[in-house]
């Protein structure tokens, strides 16, 4: 009969850059020493760690980290640095760093976090995930939806009598573009995760391509139906949102432990980029959006907004005459000022030549 293995008091977990546990060392008695020396309880293979770098103990149910024989790097708990000789109390779940090694203590008495649902990105990053027939059918379904939508758009936008070969070339080009896009991201997965995960990136690209085509069509169509021009004007902004979500989904497969940080970074880039673009557009034209009117034209029977008399268009055009005249006058003044400056520069050059002669 085998002797039952004793339950450890705690585990010291070593974390990678994504916060995933790469190794854990069981602790059966306190205190515990950590460092590069072979007589330490936990030997850290890290050149940035001293021989006996730190000592970890539990005193009255509280974990205490004593920073030991380190004269350079010390220890980091959260964002705070602690030099040699410091004593720091650790809370449950705190991540601390000795040298370049990230560590965390999990005690038997600590409450376990509830089980979290397995997300698509976590599943894609799992080494146990393999492509099943259902995955292939799902991928085929997304491909049919995307290419079908593209074919319909090509048919609506094509001129009468246009050959079908040109539309076929467009579909083939889009297909190769999606395949190349997924391949580039799968190479990133190979670099960061050790696996290509091509099908995962291709599925993400197909989903968000379809979403981008929807936001490019639905808001302008609703603008035509309702008469609300703002719906058409925000279509480009919604398209940028979809593209940011596309990049975020790809990055989550590469770095599944940095989802919140990636979302914050892309959200910041979106807010700053769209705000700056709108401000520059307003400086150039006095408008926040580049689109003057909705360009979507659907069958008139679908329009629900009330119609306007033809004379109202002429009245609105007359109202534009005064600001256009002012703009022309301002441009003429600017051109005249530039011409005067050019003449003065030429006169100055002639005067210098005469002085030299």
- In the chain, what are the domains? 10-107 (2.60.200.20), 120-285 (no CATH)
Q: Tell me phi and psi for residue 157, to 5 degrees.
A: -85, -10
List of residues 6+ apart from 75 with CB closer than 8 A: 53, 54, 65, 67, 81, 82, 86, 88, 96, 97, 98
Q: Under a CB-based contact definition with an 8 Å cutoff, are residues 90 and 77 in contact?
A: yes
What is the tens place of the pLDDT at every residue in 35-53?
A: 999 999 999 999 999 999 9
pLDDT at 352 (0 to 100): 64
List of residues 6+ apart from 348 with CB closer than 8 A: none
pLDDT at 126 (0 to 100): 52
What is the tens place of the pLDDT at every residue in 151-167?
A: 877 777 676 666 666 66
pTM for the predicted model, two decimal places? 0.62
Query: Running DSSP on this structure, what letter comes out for residue 113?
Result: P
pLDDT at 8 (0 to 100): 85
Residue 172 pLDDT exceeds 90: no
Calculate mean pLDDT across residues 182-206. 87
Which neighbouring-strand residues pair with 90?
A: 63
Residue 343 pLDDT exceeds 90: no
Confidence of residue 348 (pLDDT cuts 50, 70, 90): low
What is the tens place of the pLDDT at every residue in 279-327?
A: 888 888 777 887 777 777 777 788 887 777 777 777 777 777 887 788 7
């Amino acid at each position: 009969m085998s002797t039952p293995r004793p339950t450890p008091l705690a585990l010291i977990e070593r974390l990678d850059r994504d916060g995933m546990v790469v190794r854990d060392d069981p602790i059966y008695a306190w205190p515990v020493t950590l460092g590069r020396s072979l007589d330490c309880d936990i030997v850290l293979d890290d050149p940035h760690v001293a021989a006996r770098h730190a000592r970890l103990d539990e005193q009255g149910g509280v974990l205490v980290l004593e920073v030991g024989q380190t004269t350079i790097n010390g220890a980091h708990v959260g964002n705070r640095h602690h030099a040699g000789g410091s004593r720091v109390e650790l809370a449950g779940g705190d991540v601390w760093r000795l040298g370049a090694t990230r560590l965390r203590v999990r005690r038997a008495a600590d409450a376990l976090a509830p089980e979290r649902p397995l997300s698509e990105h976590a599943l894609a990053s799992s080494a146990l995930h393999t492509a099943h027939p259902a995955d292939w059918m799902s991928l085929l379904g997304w491909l049919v939806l995307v290419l079908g939508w593209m074919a319909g758009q090509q048919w609506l936008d094509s001129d009468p009598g246009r050959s079908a070969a040109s539309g076929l070339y467009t579909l083939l080009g889009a297909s190769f573009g999606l395949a190349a896009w997924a391949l580039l991201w799968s190479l990133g997965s190979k670099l960061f995760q050790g696996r290509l995960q091509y099908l995962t990136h291709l599925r993400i690209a197909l989903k968000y391509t379809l979403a981008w085509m929807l936001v490019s069509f639905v808001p302008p169509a609703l603008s035509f139906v309702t008469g609300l021009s703002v719906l058409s004007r925000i279509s480009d902004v919604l398209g940028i949102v979809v593209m940011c979500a596309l990049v975020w989904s790809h990055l989550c497969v590469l770095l599944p432990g940095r989802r919140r940080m990636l979302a914050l970074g892309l959200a910041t880039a979106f807010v700053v980029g769209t705000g700056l673009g709108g401000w520059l557009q307003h400086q150039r034209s006095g408008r926040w959006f580049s689109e003057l009117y909705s360009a979507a034209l659907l069958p008139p029977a679908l329009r629900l907004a009330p119609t306007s008399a033809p004379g109202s268009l002429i009245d609105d055009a007359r109202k534009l005459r005064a600001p256009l005249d002012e703009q022309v006058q301002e441009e003429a003044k600017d051109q005249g000022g530039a011409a005067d400056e050019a003449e003065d520069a030429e006169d100055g050059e002639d005067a210098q030549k005469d002085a030299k002669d």
